[in-house]
Amino acid sequence: MAHSHDIPTDLTRNQELVLGTLTASMGPLSAYDILDKLRGDGLRAPLQVYRALDKLVDRGLAHRLESLNAFVACADMHCHRKGLIAFAICEGCGKVDEFADEVIEERLGTWARNDGFKVERTTMEIRGRCADCLKKAA
Amino acid sequence: MAHSHDIPTDLTRNQELVLGTLTASMGPLSAYDILDKLRGDGLRAPLQVYRALDKLVDRGLAHRLESLNAFVACADMHCHRKGLIAFAICEGCGKVDEFADEVIEERLGTWARNDGFKVERTTMEIRGRCADCLKKAA
DNA sequence: GAACGATATGTTATGTTATTACGCTTGCGG
DNA sequence: CCGCAAGCGTAATAACATAACATATCGTTC
């Protein structure tokens, strides 16, 4: 049975390779990291990776972390989320936690309404230490 | 009388030049934009600008916009804000609006507490169209 | 005031991230 | 078959950022 974690079948070869690499990775990868991992599969130029990433990000299958200049696979495949997603990035282990918060989103909407600002995209990235890393440091 | 908008007097020459450039600018500037504007004042290398920016950002006199790889002067000199600052960036005119929202900040704190995540820094950047640009487009 | 450390500076070179420009290929609707 | 849209491959280059090293400036302590 098909379920929500299936990888879409209409990806091109390059898109599939890039998404696969992201999915297999523990943490965020830069475009060049991805390229290096895919040399064996015939990829040679940054643009091949960037083009695939563009599409994947467009479709919500991957996210760009602006504060890292890096990318991650979307944490839950079924989401197709339209709204705001926040990322908590651990400086210790590099793990990225992805979450949505309706309260923040709605608060943002309120601010935008008051200001007459039309929101097109929001990036929210929290840097810090995850529970595991804090425990290890103790 | 000294008041809250005075520029701190203990800046070094380079820091003062960089902050002055940012303050005089309508919108965000990249480090290289700043460098170009300061060639006449003797600056030659990117590092001179980056070093000044580091200090200014540390002190809260300037902010880095991660999604733009660019910098702005802090909108209100007196703030010395410790907490979360959000930026609304207009794709039309490049204007950046800076605001703080305690509800969002506190909501974030709640999430972090639940997750055992220690927040060190948060970046929140909203891309869209400001009221002026929407009006012009109409 | 000499010795010291901390901070800032200047310069060169290099590393990393992202895009432009161009031409070819493939799949698909008319 | 034609034409168009989307994808692909390649080379070159632009844009953003740091490493490494040498000097200089300034306040503190002796």
Mean pLDDT, residues B56-62 taken together: 94
| A21 is near strand D: CB distance < 7 Å | no
Residues of B in CB contact (< 8 Å) with A are 66-67, 86, 88, 90-91, 97, 99, 101, 103-104, 107-108, 111-112, 115-131, 134
B22 contacts B34 by C-beta, under 8 angstroms: yes
**Partners of B97 in the beta sheet?**
B88
Chain B residues within 8 A of A106 when measuring between CB atoms: none
Using the beta-carbon criterion (under 8 Å), do A103 and B101 form an inter-chain contact?
no
**Cα–Cα nearest to A104, from B66, B44, B105:** B105
Mean pLDDT, residues B75-97 taken together: 85
B69 φψ region: left (φ > 0), alpha (ψ -120 to 50), beta (else): left
| B41 is near strand C: CB distance < 7 Å | no
DSSP assignment string, B102-113:
HHHHHHHHHHHH
Using the beta-carbon criterion (under 8 Å), do B122 and A123 form an inter-chain contact?
no
| B14 is near strand C: CB distance < 7 Å | yes
State which residue of chain B sits closest to A64, comparing Cα positions.
B67
Integer Cα distance of B59 and B80 in angstroms = 8
Q: What are the pLDDT digits (tens) for A40-56?
A: 999 999 999 999 999 99
A108 contacts B104 by C-beta, under 8 angstroms: yes
**Percent of chain B surpassing pLDDT 70:** 89
Q: Which nucleotide is nearest to A54 (CA to C1')?
A: C18
**DSSP for residue B47:** H
What is the residue-level pLDDT of chain A in tens, covering all 138 positions? 444 445 666 899 999 999 999 999 989 999 999 999 999 999 999 999 999 999 999 999 999 999 999 999 998 766 666 679 999 999 999 999 999 999 999 999 999 999 999 999 999 999 999 999 999 887
Chain A residues within 8 A of B118 when measuring between CB atoms: 128-129, 134
Q: Which nucleotide is nearest to A53 (CA to C1')?
A: C18
pLDDT given for residue B10 in this prediction:
85
SS3 assignment, position B118? strand
Which range has the worst mean pLDDT, A51-60, A119-128, B79-88, B113-122? B79-88
CA distance A88 to chain B (A): 8
State which residue of chain A sits closest to B95, comparing Cα positions.
A117
First to last CA, chain B: 45
Q: Which residue has 């891309």 as its token pair?
A: B127
Q: Is B2's pLDDT higher than 80?
A: no
pLDDT given for residue B70 in this prediction:
98
Bridge-based pairing of strands A70-73 and A62-65 is: antiparallel
**Partners of A23 in the beta sheet?**
none
pLDDT given for residue A135 in this prediction:
94
Higher pLDDT, A81 or B75: B75
A78 contacts A121 by C-beta, under 8 angstroms: no
**Partners of A26 in the beta sheet?**
none
CA B22 centroid distance within chain: 9
